[in-house]
């Protein structure tokens, strides 16, 4: 019987993962008995879950918080919590405190349990660990050379994940997520989270959205209309089977192509709500993002890409917008 811990459960990825787990009722062929959901705000339990659910709200980076969560000895831990790119760049200390210190405190809490305790740890990293100059398509063995504080924090956490796994403290798996598109807003996201605004907000009743990047800006995205995004490779080169079933591989599109897709799917009215509002700080971050991948390892694990950005928008509208 599996005991599950999901850290960052209030965010889009956590919510969609929990929906999948509640639907299946099992993980890796073993029935789920209990799930603890953790975030800065108390996560909502998935509806109709056949297993027991407990929600907890606290700051993982504070001393002792990780020890409380690991004391339950969960057999699988999903570490999804992070300060995102723009916020980590704007608030240097917060980015390192949450993304690096909080991660290490979690890993240390697991190590200190001892007594043969060795859980599976699924860590969500980012394609921000890569930095220019880029090849035409980034392969699974491409060098990690981040150009942002967020990417640096994720790269350092990947090294910790690999070393703690090598030493046998847990069985760690890293999944490098691309930028999500059309995902629902997170209750813990900063006020100016820019990644999805131009794709998501115009589809809601009368919501305006800002596009902070150039229309020719190319990004590697994934979303399945709000479903969990997928890896483009990962530390250790493997993913938990449940994660592989819940994720999709990457799709690369420009901002202009995203807006054109929105117009084709939802008409001119939503697209007209997008205003161009260039932000030099955000554009500097975006210039360091990878744009295309040869995700062979992810495909071999069963991950797949969306056929088009139109498909992402349609699924988002079906799953997240009221009828």
- The residues assigned a catalytic role are 150
Strands 30-39 and 274-276: unpaired
For every residue of 37-61, DSSP letters joined together read EEESSPPPPPTT-SSEEEEEE--TT
Count of residues for the chain? Answer: 323
Helix H, strand E, coil C: the string for 117-167 is CCCEEEEEEEHHHCCCCCCCCECCCCCCCCCCHHHHHHHHHHHHHHHHHHC
Cβ atoms 108, 93 nearer than 8 A: no
∠ at Cα 241 (66, 76), nearest 5°?
20
Are the CB atoms for 181 and 213 separated by under 8 Å? no
């Amino acid at each position: 019987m599996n005991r599950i811990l999901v850290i960052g459960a209030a965010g889009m990825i956590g919510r969609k993962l929990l929906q999948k787990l509640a639907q299946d009722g099992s993980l890796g062929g073993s029935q789920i008995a209990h799930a603890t959901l953790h975030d800065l705000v108390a996560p909502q339990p998935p509806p109709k879950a056949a297993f027991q659910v407990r929600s907890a709200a606290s700051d993982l980076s504070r001393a002792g918080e990780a020890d409380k969560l690991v004391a339950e000895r969960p057999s699988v831990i999903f570490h999804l919590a992070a300060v995102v790119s723009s916020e980590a760049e704007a608030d240097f200390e917060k980015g390192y405190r949450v993304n690096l210190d909080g991660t290490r405190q979690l890993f240390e809490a697991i190590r200190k349990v001892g007594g043969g305790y060795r859980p599976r740890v699924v860590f969500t990293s980012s394609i921000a660990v890569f930095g220019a100059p880029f090849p035409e398509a980034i392969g699974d063995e491409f060098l990690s050379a981040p150009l942002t504080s967020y990417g640096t924090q994720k790269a350092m956490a990947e090294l910790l994940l690999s070393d703690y796994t090598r030493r046998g403290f847990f069985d760690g798996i890293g999944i490098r997520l691309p930028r999500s598109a059309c995902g629902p807003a997170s209750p813990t996201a900063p006020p100016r989270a820019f990644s999805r605004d131009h794709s998501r907000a115009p589809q809601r009743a009368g919501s305006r959205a800002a596009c902070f990047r150039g229309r020719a800006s190319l990004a590697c995205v994934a979303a399945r209309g709000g479903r969990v995004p997928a890896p483009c490779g990962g530390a250790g080169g493997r993913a938990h089977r449940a994660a592989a079933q819940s994720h999709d591989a990457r799709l690369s599109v420009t901002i202009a192509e995203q807006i054109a897709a929105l117009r084709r799917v939802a008409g001119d009215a939503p697209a007209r709500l997008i205003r161009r509002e260039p932000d030099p700080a955000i554009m500097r971050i975006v210039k360091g993002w990878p744009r295309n991948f040869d995700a062979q390892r992810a495909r071999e694990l069963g991950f797949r890409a969306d056929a088009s950005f139109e498909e992402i928008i349609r699924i988002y509208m079906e799953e997240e917008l009221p009828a």
